[in-house]
Amino acid sequence: AQSVAQPEDQVNVAEGNPLTVKCTYSVSGNPYLFWYVQYPNRGLQFLLKYITGDNLVKGSYGFEAEFNKSQTSFHLKKPSALVSDSALYFCAVRDGGSQGNLIFGKGTKLSVKP
Amino acid sequence: DGGITQSPKYLFRKEGQNVTLSCEQNLNHDAMYWYRQDPGQGLRLIYYSQIVNDFQKGDIAEGYSVSREKKESFPLTVTSAQKNPTAFYLCASSPSAGDEETQYFGPGTRLLVL
């Protein structure tokens, strides 16, 4: 069975500091990994994905994520946080062979203070 | 403007009543999805459709039904068999199943039980 774990309900960061939002996964086949962001009153948006290739993937708004196969992790990172990054972040996974059936984590609320 | 519309924004259901949530897209996407979002549980897939007149159950399909008679429309019916329907419902679409990076999400419908 596929599953995603986001161990932190909330992450608090000062503006300008680096941020990390953690995600670990379990999938039977090749993992397709994703990060989405949900801004207040703006719906859910795709940030980035990992399918194959370089373990460090870059996405929208300066975010990046590092795929670690041995630790089954896909942590979201940004070198310098902005107040406008404050939102709800979701990690998602699917098996490469199961198109359409994304499994989402429970979400992590990121709060960036000035 | 192209996008996904969901109506209504808020919906109230009485005990034993079926209600239907509307989802319309004008993006010419083949695939459409319904997710349920509960606090602390992230998004869970209810149903998805890869093409007109075809749909598959997601992880929590019990108590829900869908139809896909037109490419642009994917209505979700919450039946009286769904014992805990209070949640935020998100509809999404993508050019085809597996195109997560081009998956558009609607603004959502909040369903409340009276």
The answer, yes or no, to whether residue A52 has pLDDT greater than 70, is yes
Mind listing the pLDDT tens digit for each residue in B95-113? Answer: 988 787 778 899 999 999 8
The answer, yes or no, to whether residue B14 has pLDDT greater than 80, is yes
- Pick among A57, A101, A103 to test the B interface (most B CBs inside 10 A): A101
Burial of B90 (0-12, 13-18, 19+ CB in 10 A): buried
Confidence of residue A101 (pLDDT cuts 50, 70, 90): confident
**Cα B96 versus chain centre, distance:** 16
Residue A114, pLDDT score: 95
Residue A62 gets which letter from DSSP? G
Q: Which residue matches tokens 């090749």?
A: A30
How confident is the model over A51-72, as a mean pLDDT? Answer: 93
Q: How close B81 comes to chain A (CA, Å)?
A: 23
Residue B2, pLDDT score: 63
The answer, yes or no, to whether residue A12 has pLDDT greater than 90, is yes
The answer, yes or no, to whether residue B86 has pLDDT greater than 90, is yes
Cβ neighbours, 10 Å, residue A43: 19
